[in-house]
Amino acid sequence: AEHHHRVAVEVTLIVNGICEMCGNLYSNGDIVTLDPGEPTSFHAITDVETVVFKTPSVIGDKYEIGDPE
């Protein structure tokens, strides 16, 4: 589901496969960096392997777009 983080920067490495994030296509070796407040969604076009980390790691820092906050 489309979401954002208020505090954390989210970094996604596409290890293998093709996906769509933020309306753009990404594939093997691409790195996507999202700043706090920047909305994102994820749709796998093929089987996809990713590595995702958020910094700082803050429990509960994930907000669905459209949900009351």
pLDDT tens figures, 5-23: 999 999 999 999 999 998 9
Question: How many Å apart are CA 17 and CA 45, to the nearest integer?
Answer: 8
Q: What is the pLDDT of residue 51?
A: 98
Q: Is residue 68 very low, low, confident or very high in pLDDT (cuts 50, 70, 90)?
A: low
- Structure-block tokens of residue 44: 């796998």
Contact in structure between 14 and 63 (CB atoms under 8 Å): no
